[in-house]
Amino acid sequence: MVVGDASLDIDTLVIGAGPGGYVAAIRAAQLGQKVVIVEKGELGGVCLNVGCIPSKALISAAHQFENAQHGGVFGVTAENVKVDFSKTQEFKNSVVKKLTSGVGGLLKGNKVEIFRGECMFINETEARLFNDNEAPRYRFKHCIIATGSRPIELKPFPFGGRILSSTEALSLPEVPKSLVLIGGGYIGAELGQMYSKFGTKVTIIEGMDSILPGFDKDMTRLVAKNMAKTNIEIITNAKAESAEQNDKEVTVKYSVNGEAKEITADYLLVTVGRRPNTDGDFGLELAGVEVTDRGLIKVDHQGRTSNPKIFAIGDVVPGPALAHKASYEGKVAAEAISGLPSVVDYKAIPAVCFTDPECASVGYTESEAKEKGYKVKVGKFPYAGNGRALSLNQSEGFVKMIAKEENDVVIGAQIVGVEASNLIAELGLAIEMGATLEDISLTIHAHPTLGEIVMETAELVEGHPIHVVAPKKQV
């Protein structure tokens, strides 16, 4: 290993090349900064390599398999439909490779220097980068920490063998016959439903009273109903206690209301959340960066830490662990470093779960709005009233909209149904720009499209819907 004695001067050092780090590096370079980004794993981080992208590729493949089996309603039938899971994994890997290669090209195209290795702070303005061949020392004017997170590992369920984290669950060589999940949050729900569509018998052990905590109960009920159709058993108010495995199966012991139970399956998947990558030995104390008891880095409204020269973004700071949140914070931090008045504003940050049906939410829920003291108007328009949804044979679901009573400004929306992940963007824009119900209802939406449901929901909340009968006003 070659160690550099003299420090090399740069404007900005970015630690981590996930969706927060690489976006921050590119934006900083666009603003004229000399940027070095360091990544010990693959470019793209968890999201592109073992998270958002590969999971959605597998989910799409599962939908294709399901559609091939159940096309009879359209008059389309197929016999002996099979899954070659090795080919499915090849497809997933090809998608990942295209995107990660693209990230490398974007960084180089914006003249960002890429260092493959690890980083350790020496003091508040210097860091040592190192790998097997070199260990240069950099003096930075600013630094952005974007080291991301990893799956939480529970002591009774150490990862290894047939006890999986989400990372291993995305790379199984075969479709398991049975799978037990601990945790019914968005990761567990997505992966559990994906495997069930391929034919796996799935059991979800959830400690809360329902799956997908944080989403509207009306939404999660629809997801649970669909899960039951694909051989998923959901056990709520349950406590997972221990597991024993051999080379062929794993047995999980759990309890419900004090009653001991157990279940055996091919694999156990533990999805109980993610832990910020701030506990590694990369010298946060030497850099003067304060961390909370939960391992999160304290930041201000621009991402600035207790060391004003160092910023932090993404999963290592408070808030939901979302890739799009990390990218947004990365742009803000890069712009703040460049002297722009950019600050974070989370009022229109969407949350999406790629279950079947999809769930999406932005802004306030109805209960959150009322807790904040708002007097609100609320309306819920069904997918069943939309021609495009019916033509897709996807009539389950609804769009719900929340607006202030005094001025009709939209402050929240929830969608459950086909393409909810795409439809939520219009409502995020509406909340971001302070749009009213009338702004949405007067916007001409193409017919026949799912987007019309958004327009019709706004009309419903206003009190003059066209394709459903207006509810009677309360006297």
The residues that are catalytic are 447
d(CA 409, CA 418): 26
Q: Looking at this protein, which amino acid is placed at residue 436?
A: T
d(CA 440, CA 38): 44
Question: How many angstroms separate the CA atoms of 80 and 338, rounded?
Answer: 60
Q: Angle at Cα 145 formed by Cα 143 and Cα 146, nearest 5°?
A: 135
Report whether 169 contacts 259 (CB < 8 A).
no
Alpha-helix runs per DSSP H in 14-84:
21-30, 45-50, 52-69
Q: Which helix (H) or strand (E) holds 194?
A: helix 186-197
Q: Beta strand 118-121 with 126-130: parallel, antiparallel or unpaired?
A: antiparallel
Single-letter code of the amino acid located at 361: S
Is residue 296 within 8 A of residue 321, CB to CB? The reply is no
Quote the CA–CA distance of 308 and 124 in Å, as a whole number.
Answer: 10
The Cα 462–Cα 335 span in angstroms is 39
At position 277, the amino acid (one-letter code) is N
